[in-house]
Structure 1
Amino acid sequence: MRRVLILGGTAEARALAARLTDVHVVSSLAGRVSDPRLPVGEVHIGGFGGAGGLATWLREHRIDRLVDATHPFAERMSASAARASDLAGVPLLALRRPGWDEEDGDTWQRVSSLAAAAGALPDGARVFLTTGRRSIPLFAARTDAWFLARSVDPPEPPVPSNVHVLLARGPYTLDGERALIREHRLDVLVTKDSGGAMTRAKLTAAREAGIPVVMVERPRLPDGVRTTDDVGAAAAWAQG
């Protein structure tokens, strides 16, 4: 029986695991979320020890196909997957959901990094920060601004005084996003171009409220990696 390793705890990774009924599937989660949504089938939680460790794991577990279905901003893991694929001789496919596109009425400023996003904020802004708990210290250095920082798990203490942490897990509703913008008097949204429907409502709410969006662009995948945004195509490749 063909053996497939899926990297990532994304919705696409879970959907792919559910589609692969005629192969032995192992899904690997990084373990950074305390209570992750688990896919069907066998699950590996934790790292592999870099590209070399992943290559060894692929060989020892006789993996035939490797699918990188990590978050679009998991740049280090994607680089390790590409290198491990080369080292172990295991074919690799990257499964990535499409990014978001601007619509009529949007005011977006695209930036290349989180640091650039922090620098792009207007003086004294009240910011809806949705870039993950690890980015909070970088933005909190903007002491002139105030932040509503949403994350699944709590950030490492201490939390800066200009940051209010909201613990929540998507999918998020449009009514809920509207309420947050209104109640906290938010005037700018900072987000990563993660794509997908689970967190898109914040973009619609920002457009309706007439507030600008600072959009952090995705890192590029390693050169030469085959890519698809379709779960069905990824399943056909893994089983083919």
Structure 2
Amino acid sequence: MHVLILGGTTEGRRLAELMHTARPRARVTSSLAGRVAGPRLPGGGAVRIGGFGGVEGLTAWLRDHGVDLLIDATHPFAETISFHAAEAAAAAHVPLLALRRPGWVPTEGDDWHEVASLEAAAAALPRLGRRVFLTTGRLGLSSFAGPGTEELWFLARSVDPPAQGTPLPARTHLLLERGPFTLEGEREVLRSHRIDVLVTKDSGGAATAPKLAAARERGIPVVVVRRPPVPDGVRVVAGPEEAVEAVAGGALGA
């Protein structure tokens, strides 16, 4: 059996390792998009880096490499590749499973403002604060460079710097860091930069959750971008262990 994991996440790496251990006779390939320099690699199976060339390219790869099962373990906001995976799996007649970590849930003391997009997040900021901790990644920075944000100051955190020529907010300080982050570290970021509003995507998971607790402690409003939906008809599991159980149970035809 050949399993292709669309990865690049903590869960994707863990899944590759579990599959490699639980089904040692299976061939496991993890595919990483290559958008992050020096990506963390899984400890089991083969790895390929780079895109497929859209739906047609992924469909051809599935057929040419005899893939028996496709698992989408990409970031919850990697909407394009998730929909490409659904179309390619259907075209190649390959079972598809989506692994999605649960989203965050507000608790007592949180001041969350949920929005549908980065553009909507940018529009909400002027009424919420002036010093923004922006944790939505480098690819969405241009969404905050439009009219209405000129008076705001941004601390933009990402793993890698934005591509040359990317429009940035007028007053931006880049903070290049890779998670996981600690609560004490996030407290210090908010304090030292005098942050009064946080912007995040609902990525879920523990690695970047401490910023939410730090914001709650300081009474800082949080603008939360809702995650896009999983394509219709795709089975979803919440964690790597559940994905391995689904494969072992044979319900996916692999």
Q: TM-score range by the shorter chain?
A: over 0.9
Pairs within 5 Å for 1:1-240:
2-21=1-20, 22=23, 23-39=26-42, 40-123=44-127, 125-141=130-146, 142-157=149-164, 160-239=169-248, 240=250
Deviations 1:33-73 (A, max 9, x none): 00100012200100111111111100110010000000000
| Structure 2: distance between partners of 1:140 and 1:126 | 15
Give the direction of change, closer, same or farther, for the CA distance of 1:97–1:148 in structure 2 (3 Å limit).
same
TM-score by length of 2: 0.91
SS at match of 1:25: strand
TM-score by length of 1: 0.97
Q: Does the 8 A contact of 1:113 with 1:216 survive in 2?
A: yes
| Structure 2: distance between partners of 1:160 and 1:231 | 38
Deviations 1:78-107 (A, max 9, x none): 000000010000000000000000011000
Q: Aligned AA for 2:242?
A: A
Structure 1: which 4+ aligned runs deviate by more than 2 Å?
156-161, 236-240
Quote the offset at 1:150 in angstroms. Answer: 0.1
SS at match of 1:120: helix
SS at match of 2:39: coil
| Structure 2: distance between partners of 1:191 and 1:106 | 14
Quote the offset at 1:161 in angstroms. Answer: 4.2
| Structure 1: distance between partners of 2:35 and 2:28 | 21
Q: CA RMSD in A?
A: 1.2
| Structure 2: distance between partners of 1:161 and 1:74 | 27
Quote the offset at 1:237 in angstroms. Answer: 2.6
**Structure 1 alignment gaps of length 5 or more:** none
Give the direction of change, closer, same or farther, for the CA distance of 1:115–1:160 in structure 2 (3 Å limit).
closer
Deviations 1:119-148 (A, max 9, x none): 000256100000011111221331111100
Equivalent residue pairs, number:
239
**Structure 2 alignment gaps of length 5 or more:** none
Quote the offset at 1:230 in angstroms. Answer: 2.4
SS at match of 2:70: strand
Q: Does the 8 A contact of 1:93 with 1:226 survive in 2?
A: yes
Q: Does the 8 A contact of 1:4 with 1:238 survive in 2?
A: no
Q: Aligned AA for 1:127?
A: V
SS at match of 1:208: helix
| Structure 2: distance between partners of 1:205 and 1:45 | 35
Quote the offset at 1:108 in angstroms. Answer: 0.1
Which moved further from structure 2: 137-146 or 95-104? 137-146
Quote the offset at 1:29 in angstroms. Answer: 0.2
Q: Aligned AA for 2:81?
A: M
| Structure 1: distance between partners of 2:114 and 2:245 | 34
Q: Does the 8 A contact of 2:150 with 2:169 survive in 1?
A: no
| Structure 2: distance between partners of 1:160 and 1:95 | 34
